[in-house]
Amino acid sequence: MNNQQFFEKVAQMRKQQKTYQEARPSSQESRDALIASKRLETEIDQEIARVQAILAKKDIFLVQYKDVDGSIASSLVEGFDMETQYRQGYIVANITKRTVTYNGKDWEAMTLKPGSSMPTTMQAKGGAA
């Protein structure tokens, strides 16, 4: 569900809640509004849970894609969601990242998780190697 769809669901739910409040307590209109409001509330709660699960992901992904000038661009993305963020032409690898001290200098070491096929990279912490 995108932002606009989420907003529309919330607006529909509020409209049903107002209808429920304004209708006579024992009327069919009141019952229908309550049922519709609860259904929309469930859909909204499911979407909130889905987004919270995506935001809770701490996995780091290396995403490579062809830039507008034809060069290959790379980005590290925390919590990349393949279902909603993947675009055609992306190369995505799940990686682990840790700091390693070597020759008195801190390095960020990135290794691929099992099943990935991109090469391992290593760069100086805070800049290129």
Say yes or no: 35 and 84 in one domain.
no
CA angle 127, 64, 50 (to 5 degrees): 105
Say yes or no: 30 and 78 in one domain.
no
Q: How many domains does the chain have?
A: 2
Say yes or no: 79 and 109 in one domain.
yes
How many Å apart are CA 26 and CA 18, to the nearest integer? Answer: 15
Amino acid at the residue 25: P
Domain with 49 in it: 3-56
Say yes or no: 71 and 118 in one domain.
yes
Torsion of CA 18, 19, 21, 26, to 10 degrees: -170
Ramachandran assignment for 70, one of left (phi > 0), alpha (psi -120 to 50 degrees), beta (any other): left
Residues 6+ apart with CB under 8 A from 74: 62, 63, 64
pTM of the complete model: 0.48
Residue 129, in any domain of the structure: no
Residue 14, in any domain of the structure: yes
Amino acid at the residue 58: K
State both tokens at 15: 């409209």
Going residue by residue through the chain (129 aa), what tens digit of pLDDT does each one get? Answer: 888 999 999 999 999 999 999 999 899 999 999 999 999 999 999 999 888 776 666 667 777 777 778 787 777 777 666 666 666 767 666 666 666 677 777 776 666 565 555 444 444 445 444
